[in-house]
Amino acid sequence: MARHLFGTDGIRGRVGQAPMTAEFALRLASAAARVLAPAGGRVLIGKDTRVSGYMFEAALEAGFVAAGMDVLLVGPLPTPGIAYLTHTLGADLGVVISASHNPYDDNGIKFFDREGAKLPDRVEEEIEARLEEPAITRESGELGRAKRVESALEQYQQFCASTVPADLRLDGLKVVIDCSHGAAYKVAPRVLSQLGAEIVPIGCSPNGRNINDGCGSTHPELLQLTTRGVRADLGIALDGDGDRLLMVDHEGAIVDGDQLLYILATAWQDSGALRGPVVGTLMSNFGLERALRERGIDFRRAQVGDRYVLEMLKASGGTLGGETSGHLLCLDRTTTGDGLVSALQVLDVVKRSGRTLAELSRGMPRFPQKLVNVRVERRVDPRQSPPIQSAVAAAEQALGSRGRIVLRASGTEPVIRVMVEGEDGDEVARLADSLAAEVRAAAAA
């Protein structure tokens, strides 16, 4: 079997178009119940703030109840909060209704197992296979029940606060928090205030249609302007479902996922808390690799996608990893990427070190990087093309140890991604354009 509907982070698409319809959501719930809880059990359902979340919540609830499962509804809550509560409340599976950083007219559905971990590929494949079967409707005496968990927000809030030392206080820190009008709009400001920070909230007024609209981790311009304008110490941006983190320093300069990994890795090395290698991806900036190497910290690269970072961390005994986009994993704190938990770890370092975010990130200079997406008419494997490999070898020789090159075929569109990075921005641009031309020529041959 192969997955056709499930991507690297659940099922996602435009609302009203296949597969994101109410009818599909009901069948998906029935298929998931067959695979993950054939004898019945409990399922926890959460969502972000999209208006379509009401529809999918109702459809999933109906599908699970009809299949004999009890449903716990927690309403808008960050994706990592659903993972945490699934395990804490003893549910057999957790469901998140969210399209993460996508616009409001998209939505998605993803699952967690009873431990709060994402499902392996083979389980997603089995769920897809059961979608061909009619939805289950049990007899009245075997139907499940549904209820709302009123304490969900408070439980997750307490968990987030527990991931930093009990004596941590953020008094004296002025923080701008941008929740992208998404799932963290209540819990993130509350946690920061509880710890003593003076907060300036933006992106915390969802109306069902403004999620990720000109705000959050994918649109940090408002955060940059606000942080400078109110003279805050730093700014925090989450995405629509609260699993990604981007920060800005007091001058409004962006501190991305690579720099945040550097800050945490070096601080944890100094305190003796760092375990195993730090794991990034093929697209992590070369500046991160070099800066960690200079500190004697092992750095490894996984395929693009947080699930592959997670796999490598588990295989290597590491606890810290992530992507440039800010999807960070602190596995000694939680089971999945959590933007708020990651932000708290960085704030702990800022407060205890007495240094600004700008000072802490300065140890990892970002190398100039250029990415060219080459659209091709036919699929080309860059590794099997002698002209491309010859051009890559020449470019790598020119860069030496001062940079690196990545060529990879997109898994979702007819595109070859050509990425070059190094110390010299002009050289990087020249080599990237040259390699892109070779890929176009090879594809046209």
Q: Mean per-residue pLDDT for 298-305?
A: 93
Q: What is the pLDDT of residue 2?
A: 54
Q: What is the pLDDT of residue 245?
A: 97
Give φ, ψ of 432 to 5 degrees: -65, -45
Q: Mean per-residue pLDDT for 347-355?
A: 97
Q: What is the pLDDT of residue 231?
A: 98
Cα 96 vs. chain centroid, distance in angstroms?
13
Q: What is the pLDDT of residue 379?
A: 67
The answer to whether the CB of 336 falls within 8 A of the CB of 213 is no
Q: In which band, very low, low, confident or very high, does the pLDDT at 387 lie, cut at 50, 70 and 90?
A: confident
Instruction: Report the CATH number of the 11-150 domain.
Output: 3.40.120.10
pLDDT above 70: residue 363: yes
- Count other C-beta atoms under 10 Å from residue 378's C-beta: 8
Q: Mean per-residue pLDDT for 125-129?
A: 95
| Lowest mean pLDDT segment, chosen from 5-14, 15-24, 131-140, 330-339 | 5-14
Quick one: residue 261, left, alpha or beta (phi over 0 = left, psi -120 to 50 = alpha)? alpha
pLDDT above 80: residue 410: no
pLDDT above 80: residue 381: no
Report the percentage of the chain scoring pLDDT > 70: 98
List all residues 6 or more positions away from 16 whose beta carbon is below 8 Å from its beta carbon.
none
Residue type, 206: P
Q: What is the pLDDT of residue 153?
A: 96
Pairwise pLDDT comparison (4 vs 87), residue with the higher score:
87
Q: What is the pLDDT of residue 4?
A: 83
Q: What is the pLDDT of residue 345?
A: 98
Give φ, ψ of 4 to 5 degrees: -115, -35
336-356: buried (b, 16+ CB within 10 Å) or exposed (e) per residue?
bbbbbbbbbbbbbbbbeeeee
Mean pLDDT for all residues in the chain = 94
Q: What is the pLDDT of residue 376?
A: 81
Mind listing the pLDDT tens digit for each residue in 188-231?
999 999 999 999 999 999 999 999 999 999 999 999 999 999 99
Q: What is the pLDDT of residue 314?
A: 95
Pairwise pLDDT comparison (400 vs 274), residue with the higher score:
274
100 is catalytic: yes
The answer to whether the CB of 68 falls within 8 A of the CB of 40 is yes
The CATH number for 162-361, chosen from 3.40.50.620, 1.10.3720.10, 3.40.120.10, 3.40.718.10, is 3.40.120.10
Q: What is the pLDDT of residue 411?
A: 60
Q: Mean per-residue pLDDT for 157-180?
A: 97
Q: What is the pLDDT of residue 204?
A: 98
Q: In which band, very low, low, confident or very high, does the pLDDT at 383 lie, cut at 50, 70 and 90?
A: confident
Q: In which band, very low, low, confident or very high, does the pLDDT at 441 lie, cut at 50, 70 and 90?
A: confident
Q: Mean per-residue pLDDT for 369-386?
A: 82
pTM of the model: 0.91
Q: Mean per-residue pLDDT for 306-315?
A: 93
Q: Mean per-residue pLDDT for 22-35?
A: 98
- Between CA 93 and CA 76 the distance in angstroms is 17
3-state SS of the chain is CCCCCCEECEEEEECCCCCCCHHHHHHHHHHHHHHHCCCCEEEEEEECCCCCHHHHHHHHHHHHHHCCEEEEEEEECCHHHHHHHHHHCCCCEEEEECCCCCCCCEEEEEEEECCCCECCHHHHHHHHHHCCCCCCCCCHHHCCCEEECCCHHHHHHHHHHHCCCCCCCCCCCEEEEECCCCCCCCHHHHHHHHCCCEEEEECCCCCCCCCCCCCCCCCCHHHHHHHHHCCCCEEEEECCCCCCEEEECCCCCEECHHHHHHHHHHHHHHHCCCCCCEEEECCCCHHHHHHHHHCCCCEEEECCCHHHHHHHHHHHCCCEEECCCCCEEECCCCCCCCHHHHHHHHHHHHHHHCCCHHHHHCCCCCCCEEEEEEECCCCCCHHHCHHHHHHHHHHHHHHHHHEEEEEEECCCCCEEEEEEEECCHHHHHHHHHHHHHHHHHHHHC
Q: In which band, very low, low, confident or very high, does the pLDDT at 136 lie, cut at 50, 70 and 90?
A: very high
Q: What is the pLDDT of residue 134?
A: 94
- Between CA 350 and CA 222 the distance in angstroms is 23
10 Å CB burial of residue 190 (0-12, 13-18, 19+) is: middle
Catalytic pick among 30, 52, 98, 100:
100
Same topology between domain 11-150 and domain 369-444: no
Mind listing the pLDDT tens digit for each residue in 45-63?
999 999 999 999 999 999 9
pLDDT above 60: residue 412: no
pLDDT above 60: residue 1: no
Domain ranges of the chain: 11-150, 162-361, 369-444
pLDDT above 60: residue 257: yes
The answer to whether the CB of 29 falls within 8 A of the CB of 37 is no
pLDDT above 60: residue 175: yes
CATH class of segment(s) 369-444: alpha beta
